[in-house]
Structure 1
Amino acid sequence: MTEQPTSHEGRQPLAARPQERTRPRSEATGGSSVPPPAGPPQDLVGTARREGDRLRFVGAATRRIARGIDLDEIVLGLCRATVPTFSDAILVYLRSPLPVGDERPVSPFVLRLRRTDRLRLAGEDSDPGTVPLPVVDPQTDLMPAAELCEVRSGGALSEVLRGVRPVFGDSAAARAALPELLGADRTVPSGHRAILAPLRGRRRVIGAAVFLRRPDRPAFEPNDLLVAAQLATHTALGIDKAVLYGREAYIADELQRTMLPDSLPQPTGVRLASRYLPAAETARVGGDWYDAIPLPGSRVALVVGDVMGHSMTSAAIMGQLRTTAQTLAGLDLPPQEVLHHLDEQAQRLGTDRMATCLYAVYDPVSHRITIANAGHPPPILLHLGGRAEVLRVPPGAPIGVGGVDFEAVELDAPAGATLLLYTDGLVESRLRDVWTGIEQLRERLAATAQLTGPDHSPPLEALCDDVLDVLGPGDRDDDIALLAARFDGIAPSDVAYWFLEPEDAAPGRARRLARRALTRWGLEELSDSVELLVSEVVTNAVRYAERPVTLRLLRTDVLRCEVGDDSPQLPRQRRARDTDEGGRGLFLVNRLARRWGATRLSTGKVVWFELPTPA
């Protein structure tokens, strides 16, 4: 969209500065005038001054264009640098869509007008004392222009763009090209001066700029074509870099976000919430990650980590470490063993691949949590009464150092308490050290809990938002990953647990024990299904087990049954033939249970299934 700025009071265009006149000096006696000393002719002095003004203008304009980081800032920098000093208005057309790097441009060649008045708020300007650029009505003011233009191969506009050099608007080439650019029924108004400058990037033409002057302004001079060429070249190269950088940042950001969980699981006995904030819009590539991994026995692993550095390499390493952590969690290894294997994996990735990580396992049945730390900021536990506590966890060395041992601690995780895991971007910045930030975060959590009263916990999602508010404006230098876990736990009255010897009588005993537990819970109508499924799973476990088999029933919003044994071989569902006497147990489980699965442990495996409870 055309913009028509109001000129600064007293400012004259570059080509319109009047030549200064020297005043004759009078003699000391007689009053007769003496001719001035010999010097360069007045026209040469004026020309030199105008050329000096042009050079200073080009230098200032190119610096202003170069300050732009993204596409809008670069185009707006060109507009503000040239209006009103060089022209009264400017139209900027860019290829749509813009090609990125060495990719083949989309055909046909379409130019789209950049409506620069939409790129900023009215009156916004970084230079004090300048007059803001007003919005121009394209139907009534200086330069009506079409929104889109398709460049026809072999047409006049195509020839001008291919020539790359700017041309005057009254030249034969421009008179034929401008109506094609602006629209068939539009042209430069009578008496106005114009320069049509192609915008060429590193490899191809990406657009065009039209500089316009009103009739009351001096006409463009031949040297103004060189000025327009300089402005167009700097703008086009800046746009090329901005588009390429934007594509790389987008790819890196998508890479990182696809490595983070799309959604958190909803395990029994714990509620989860998370946040992730990049460091800035212009540096969106980091190595922060978080995860929540369901484990056998209704437990859940809580992980947060931070790969050192900000690059696509950091994001890639983060993805590898997160995948490794998920695999290790599936083996049900202790937290310190998980960190040990992550350390080995980081060393295999390279000598300088370092990261901090905190790995915790919460058991809702025992109301305990086991935590191991590898150089990460300590977690904070917010108790139900409003007390916020920085947990004493051995810090350990970062992952990737090698040759170090990790230590795990087991702590109480009372019902109603909230555990907060975070990366250092939340508590460390240029303005404060990490321990000062941790203390401020602890105080903020305690203050938030006091507002909800001693008997209630603050809503988890609102708590995460409130935690992020601890950061002041401009106080965020690094990415932030945040994982909050609200411990609800499972009451002992909702858990039934037995050991069964691996003998032929075990399935029958398992059926009787399950029936008694269901009767105690008032779930008798599930007895037939539960007895049948328990019998099949226990029979399969007894067949391969050498040590006692475990049977556990959990009553929450569903009824969950878990059978564990010391055999690492996972059961596989298969379709039995008509002549087979067995092989139908897992088929029944698959048909009757709402969900079922099997998980390999370091000591064997657990087979589980779930049934919906009556309303």
Structure 2
Amino acid sequence: GRRAILAPLRGRRRVIGAALFLRGPERVAFEADDLLVAAQLATHSALGIDKAVLYGREAYIADELQRTMLPENLPRCTGVRLASRYLPAAETARVGGDWYDAIPLPGSRVALVVGDVMGHSMTSAAIMGQLRTTAQTLAGLDLPPQEVLHHLDEQAQRLGTDRMATCLYAVYDPVSHRITVANAGHPPPVLLHLGGHAEVLRVPAGAPIGVGGVDFEAVELDAPAGATLLLYTDGLVESRLRDVWTGIEQLRERLAATAQLTGPDHPPPLEALCDEVLDMLGPGDRDDDIALLAARFDGIAPSDVAYWFLDPEDAAPGRARRLARRALARWGMEDLTDAVELLVSEVVTNAVRYASRPVTLRLLRTDVLRCEVGDDVPQLPRLRQARATDEGGRGLYLVNRLARRWGATRLSTGKVVWFELNRG
């Protein structure tokens, strides 16, 4: 005795369900006008459901895409400790294009990068991935920070998108205790000194990436041992409830207050400091996703660095062995003398064979012993298995067998070959 209308819910590509309209036997039977109403209800409901499903799927893909392109683990770099956080935006804003990175550079330096592609979509996440990959490639070429931003700007122009991005690129040198910073429209970093004083670094703002035809300026600043540099995206300091400069001042005050808890001689633990910074967010401050990168500068003391220039001549390997032996004796590391002399001799021999300018030799004493040999030849050495009849070709094989780690990096002026040995 019941009457029913079964209306298919047609999405844009397929039928996603059905709507069932029922009337009991005491009601009037359905008429033609009821069919029209049911059809309209089914059509609008189907489109709404379909859009919600597609939006949820796109948001999920964008979120996974962004998380996949962020570094899983930060590298262990000499003279600096790193910590990071990524916090997605509230459900209403979904994923954005924030990223951070830490990239080891030749000479025990490290590049610190944080950026933000404008917008919240899968497109923003995809552009973020392209810019991050480009920044890693440019860092591998050891370009100055302002040149990295210039090439990122050119890359954004080639992408042909109207999405702009902000980026801050800094290079920290633990030997000189200096940091070089260039900025492309990004919020300025905050430096927390060992004594508890927090300052907003005076870095030229620059234009965002994607504007095109602009120059970027780099500044070189002191990076004293024990200080902490905080790089972040604007989601941390800007929301509907506060402007960006109010948020930056609140961040500076939060860092200073946290440092007071551990006293003037002990910086706050790095991971705990990141958590304290995120705790400053209120319930209305999650309009945008947040990327946070903190770097604690330990540096390398001058007494732990030995540096020489060697003329590219046959006597260079012997001189390198003698200099390394004296440095190890001064550091009380005589147990490494045999291994270091052998490996230094092999690497320096390869360098002076083709170099036309003086070769550099540097030893660094940290938790490991690191040796770096630089020359003006851009071709990187290649590890190969020497044949029994070959007179040479075994140098890198020895380095690979005896060293804890080794590598070679191309520079704009040549290359650096390095290896590390565990301290006894």
Calculate the TM-score normalised by the size of structure 1.
0.64
Q: Partner residue of 1:545? A: 355
Could you tell me how far 1:475 is from its partner in structure 2? 2.0
Identity %: 92
Label 1:262 to 1:223 Cα distance change in 2 as closer, same or farther (>3 A): same
Q: Which has the larger radius of gyration?
A: 1
Is this contact kept in 1: 2:59–2:121, CA < 8 A?
Answer: no
Query: Could you say if the C-alpha distance between residues 454 and 233 of structure 1 is closer, same or farther in structure 2, counting changes exceeding 3 Å?
Result: same
Per mean C-alpha deviation after superposition, the further-off stretch among 253-262 and 525-534 is 253-262
Aligned to 1:207: 17
What is the match of residue 514 of structure 1? 324
Cα offset for 1:256?
Answer: 2.0
CA contact (8 A) 1:347 1:353 kept: no
CA 1:205–1:347: 2 relative to 1, 3 Å: closer
SS at match of 2:409: strand
Deviation at 1:483, TM superposition (A): 0.8
Q: Superposition RMSD on alpha carbons, in Å?
A: 2.8
Deviations 1:539-577 (A, max 9, x none): 000011111111111122211111001111111112222
Q: Residues of 1 paired with 2:236 and 2:28: CA distance? A: 58
Contact 1:335 1:372 in 2 (8 A): yes
CA displacement at 1:207 relative to structure 2: 4.3
Cα distance, 1:330–1:216 mapped onto 2, change above 3 Å: same
Q: Shift of the alpha carbon at 1:348?
A: 2.2
Offset of residue 604 of structure 1: 0.8
CA distance in 1, matches of 2:115, 2:385: 43
Residues 220 and 402 (structure 1), Cα distance of their counterparts in 2 relative to 1, 3 Å cut: closer
Q: Contact 2:239 / 2:284 at 8 angstroms: preserved in 1?
A: no
Deviations 1:258-280 (A, max 9, x none): 22212211111111111122222
Cα 1:513–1:213 change in 2 (3 A) is farther
- 1:236-256, CA deviations, whole angstroms, 9 ceiling, x for partnerless residues? 443322222111112222222
Task: Report if aligned partners of 1:416, 1:487 keep a CA contact under 8 Å in 2.
Answer: yes
SS in 1 for 2:16: strand
**Maintained 8 Å contact 1:273/1:484:** yes
Offset at residue 201 of structure 1 (A):
4.0
Q: What is the CA-CA distance between 1:302 and the residue it aligns to?
A: 0.4
2:183 — aligned with what?
Answer: 373
User: Is residue 363–residue 371 contact of structure 2 (8 Å, CA) maintained in 1?
Assistant: yes
Question: Residue 316 of structure 2 contacts residue 348 of structure 2 at CA under 8 Å; is this kept in 1?
Answer: yes
Conserved? CA contact 2:114–2:233, under 8 Å: yes
Post-superposition CA distance 1:280-320 (Å, at most 9, x none): 22433322211110001111000111222333332222222
Change (3 A) 1:292 1:227: same
**Counterpart contact for 1:301–1:329, Cα < 8 Å:** yes
| Contact residue 418 and residue 486 of structure 1 kept, 8 A | yes
Decide whether aligned partners of structure 1 residues 533 and 348 sit closer, same or farther in structure 2, where only a CA change above 3 A counts. same
Deviations 1:589-614 (A, max 9, x none): 11111211100001110000111xxx
- Superposed counterparts of 1:182-193, under 5 Å: none
CA distance, structure 2, for counterparts of residue 279 and residue 287 of structure 1 = 11
Shift in alpha-carbon separation, 1:217–1:562, aligned structure 2, 3 A: farther
Q: Distance in 1 between matches of 2:51 and 2:207?
A: 40
Deviates more, 1:242-251 or 1:191-200: 191-200
Q: 1:500-523 CA distances to partner (integer Å, 9 max, x unpaired)? A: 111111101111111222222222
CA shift for structure 1 position 347: 2.1
Work out the CA distance in 2 between the residues paired with 1:472 and 1:221.
Answer: 55
Deviation string 1:460-515 (CA, Å, 9 cap, x unpaired) is 11211211222211222222211111111112222211111111111011111112
Cα 1:239–1:532 change in 2 (3 A) is same
Name the structure with the higher strand share. 2
| Aligned 8 A contact 1:544 1:567 in 2 | yes
Unmatched 5+ stretches in structure 2: none
Distance 1:227 1:459 in 2: 65
Q: 1:198 to 1:350 in 2, by over 3 A?
A: closer
CA gap 1:514/1:231 in 2 versus in 1, 3 angstroms: same
Q: Is the 8 A contact 2:117 2:166 kept in 1?
A: yes
Q: Deviations over 1:431-483 (max 9, x none)?
A: 22211111111111111111222121112112112112222112222222111
1:226–1:342: structure 2 CA closer, same or farther, 3 Å change rule? closer
Any residues of structure 2 matched to 1:474-553 within 5 Å, and which? 474-553=284-363
Q: TM-score, normalised by structure 2?
A: 0.91
Aligned residue pairs, count: 422
Separation (CA, whole Å) in 2 of partners of 1:426 and 1:217: 60
User: Does residue 266 of the first structure (1) align with residue 81 of the second (2)?
Assistant: no
Deviations 1:352-400 (A, max 9, x none): 3532211110011111111111221110001111111001111122222
Note if contact 1:502-1:548 (Cα within 8 Å) is conserved in structure 2: yes
Asked whether the equivalents of residues 460 and 484 of structure 1 are also in contact (C-alpha less than 8 Å), the reply is yes
Q: 1:204 to 1:514 in 2, by over 3 A?
A: same
Quick check: 2:58–2:122 contact (8 Å CA) kept in 1?
A: no
Q: In structure 2, what is the Cα distance between the partners aligned to 1:350 and 1:198?
A: 42
1:227 Cα offset (Å): 7.6
Q: Is the 8 A contact 2:192 2:228 kept in 1?
A: yes
State the alpha-carbon separation in 2 of the partners of residues 414 and 215 from structure 1.
Answer: 86
- The answer to whether the 8 Å contact 2:9/2:16 transfers is yes
Say whether the 8 Å CA contact 1:249–1:283 is kept in structure 2: no
**Alignment match, 1:313:** 123
